[in-house]
Amino acid sequence: MKKLIYADNAATTALSPAVLEKMMPYLTTQYANPSSLYSFSEDSKVAVETAREQVAIALGARVNEIYFTSGGSESDNWAIKGYAQAMKKKGKTHIISSAFEHHAVLHALKALEKQGFTVTLLPVYEDGLVRVQDLADAITPETGLVTIMMANNEIGTIQPIKELAAVCKEKGVVLHTDAVQAVGHIPVNVEELGVDMLSLSAHKFRGPKGVGALYIRRGVLPAVLIDGGAQERNRRAGTENVAGIVGLGQAVTLAVATMEETATKLQQLRDYFMENALHINRSRVNGHRVNRLPGNVNMCFEGIEGESLLLMLDMKGICASSGSACTSGSLDPSHVLLAIGLPHEIAHGSLRLSFGEDTTKEDVDAILEALPPIVERLRAMSPLWERIVKENA
């Protein structure tokens, strides 16, 4: 049986054995509801609050600024929809974001547009970066919220959040950042960045799926999104996922402790891959070559379809993803790649590799060995590639 090479860590990561070990008691013997009054529930209460402290330490936040959620999508929706309702009471109905946000953000904004809010999507240019001046120019007296992701989930570009936050503070506008791809991989300190709200999700840094958190700066009051019980200080109802929350706290602590060493390794593997893969004719790297997540590679190979590339890599035991949305049932290429100016025919031929702490140089070499003949085979069957060759003859 061929070795599985997993290079899709931006989609999800393997649960750390050390994290699972911490979670196990709360999946088995320590099953009490933290909201119960009897002494048996005390351990669950303590576990939740210990995890809250761990997340706060990792982000440089106060403990009472951390709220647990079901994951990144809920955190994004709570921050955006919740604050939109709060700011509407102050006569603010304009929201600013970027053209290549995660769909959890973009779809939340579309829902708000149906409720009468106006949305401005800033351009991200070829390098995949939001310009600070563009934000400053877009803010109006009606602007109440800016939401810009910290690092893009497809092309990995890291945004100038600190500079964007400074503009928002000067203009009296709240800034939310979707940091789902960033936390655990690059330094994130909410005080140094100056953000008002920040979303994260445990399964992106070797924690469990189905649990995340939202940082809400003290004094920022998004409306409640989920009504019910008094959990999370009356801000987010629902019985706490104690095992998941414990896993989140342990995972973020471990990720931060090993971040520098892991990032150095992943940057080397990332750059090594890009340097060698660019030897393939008519290939390109998408996004900024340096200012990107340590383990992120996103490339396009002209004349092929990303879906076919993924299927043929899978036959070699290589797990990757594509900027093309074909695998989700859409014939349109990635909105991220279109946002940075790629034409449809090039954007369709994209490949995203996201390396993790378990990725080895041997894994990267195996992908580099498999990739060129697959591209060559797909191009041999492609009318688009035939046209490209004729046009450039």
Residues of the chain above pLDDT 90, percent: 92
Q: What is residue 336's predicted lDDT score, i.e. its pLDDT?
A: 95
96 bridge partner residues: 120, 146
Sorted by sequence, the CB contacts under 8 Å of residue 192 that are 6+ apart come out as 60, 162
Mean pLDDT across 230-247:
97
CA–CA distance, 241 with 53 (Å, rounded to integer): 16
Mean pLDDT across 367-393:
92
In 3D space, the residue among 384, 367, 383, 385 whose CA is nearest the CA of residue 312 turns out to be: 367
Asked if 36 and 347 count as a contact pair (C-beta separation under 8 A), the reply is no
- Looking up tokens 């576990």 gives 47
Asked if 287 and 270 count as a contact pair (C-beta separation under 8 A), the reply is no
Structure tokens at 38: 């009897």
Question: For the segment 71-94, what is each residue's pLDDT rounded down to a tens digit?
Answer: 999 999 999 999 999 999 999 999
In the DSSP assignment, the letter for residue 174 is E
Confidence band of 326 (pLDDT split at 50, 70, 90): very low
CA–CA distance, 202 with 128 (Å, rounded to integer): 25
- Looking up tokens 């006569």 gives 91
Question: For the segment 265-298, what is each residue's pLDDT rounded down to a tens digit?
Answer: 999 999 999 999 999 999 999 999 999 999 999 9
Confidence band of 1 (pLDDT split at 50, 70, 90): low
Structure tokens at 247: 């896993």
**Helix or strand holding residue 171 (H, E):** helix 161-171
In b/e form, how buried is each residue of 56-74, taking b as 16+ CB within 10 angstroms? bebbebeeebbbbbbbbbb
Q: What is residue 59's predicted lDDT score, i.e. its pLDDT?
A: 98
Question: For the segment 221-235, what is each residue's pLDDT rounded down to a tens digit?
Answer: 999 999 999 999 999
Confidence band of 331 (pLDDT split at 50, 70, 90): low
Whether the full predicted model's pTM is greater than 0.85, yes or no, is yes
Bridging pattern class, strands 197-201 and 212-216: antiparallel
Mean pLDDT across 144-149:
98
- Catalytic-residue membership of 300: no
Statement: residue 96 has pLDDT above 70: yes
Coil/strand/helix, residue 45: helix
In 3D space, the residue among 264, 278, 301 whose CA is nearest the CA of residue 368 turns out to be: 278
Other CB atoms within 10 A of residue 289 CB: 12
Confidence band of 323 (pLDDT split at 50, 70, 90): low
CA–CA distance, 189 with 72 (Å, rounded to integer): 18
Find the catalytic residue in 168, 300, 319, 326. Answer: 326
CA–CA distance, 350 with 306 (Å, rounded to integer): 5
Confidence band of 324 (pLDDT split at 50, 70, 90): very low
Question: For the segment 163-175, what is each residue's pLDDT rounded down to a tens digit?
Answer: 999 999 999 999 9
- Phi/psi of residue 36, nearest 5 degrees: -75, 160
**Helix or strand holding residue 318 (H, E):** strand 318-319
Q: Give Rg (Cα) of the chain.
A: 22
The mean predicted confidence, pLDDT, of the chain is 95
Q: What is residue 325's predicted lDDT score, i.e. its pLDDT?
A: 43
Asked if 10 and 354 count as a contact pair (C-beta separation under 8 A), the reply is yes
Sorted by sequence, the CB contacts under 8 Å of residue 68 that are 6+ apart come out as 48, 51, 52, 211, 212, 213, 232, 236, 240, 241, 245, 248
